[in-house]
């Protein structure tokens, strides 16, 4: 694993309970939304807590199918002052990428992203 990838992945665990003081985003330990935003990010099925991290060297992908807005994870890794210094987020349409040096962490939370987009279009 590259050093930059190690910093990004460590950043995920260090921010597991992070919440923006202005109420714009929150991680909520990956199980709930401390901001109590409207909508449901899981179908309530048994797979709602499924998460998968895979990768090699400097390219990693984190996939999940229940609570957590993709944007919240990207912001927790990049926002000042809590973000990983030097990390930047890129909206790639169907997922987000957080980059740091030579490392890329793809954030793929399809249900969360679809739910968030449907709330925006209402």
Give the separation between CA 55 and CA 9, rounded to whole angstroms: 11
pTM of the model: 0.80
Is 44 part of a structural domain of the chain? no
Is 21 part of a structural domain of the chain? yes
Does the pLDDT of residue 45 top 80, yes or no?
A: no
Number of domains in the chain: 1
Strand partners, 44: none
100: which 2 tokens? 């740091």
Is 23 part of a structural domain of the chain? yes
Give the separation between CA 31 and CA 26, rounded to whole angstroms: 11
Give the separation between CA 21 and CA 2, rounded to whole angstroms: 32
pLDDT tens digits, one per residue of 13-29: 899 889 999 988 888 88
Look over the chain and give the mean of its residue pLDDT values, rounded to a whole number. 82
Does the pLDDT of residue 31 top 80, yes or no?
A: no
Is 111 part of a structural domain of the chain? yes
pLDDT of residue 41: 56
Is 38 part of a structural domain of the chain? no
Range of the structural domain that residue 100 is part of: 3-31+49-121
């Amino acid at each position: 694993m590259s050093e930059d990838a190690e910093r990004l992945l460590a950043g995920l665990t260090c921010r597991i309970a992070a919440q923006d003081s202005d109420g714009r985003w929150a991680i909520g330990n990956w199980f709930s939304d401390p901001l109590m935003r409207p909508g449901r990010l899981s179908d309530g099925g048994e797979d709602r807590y499924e998460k998968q991290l895979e990768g090699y060297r400097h390219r990693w992908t984190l996939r999940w199918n229940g609570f957590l807005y993709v944007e919240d994870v990207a912001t927790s890794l990049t926002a000042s002052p809590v973000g990983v210094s030097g990390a930047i987020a890129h909206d790639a349409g169907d997922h987000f990428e957080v980059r740091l040096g030579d490392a890329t962490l793809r954030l793929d939370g399809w249900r969360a992203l679809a739910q968030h987009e449907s709330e925006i279009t209402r």
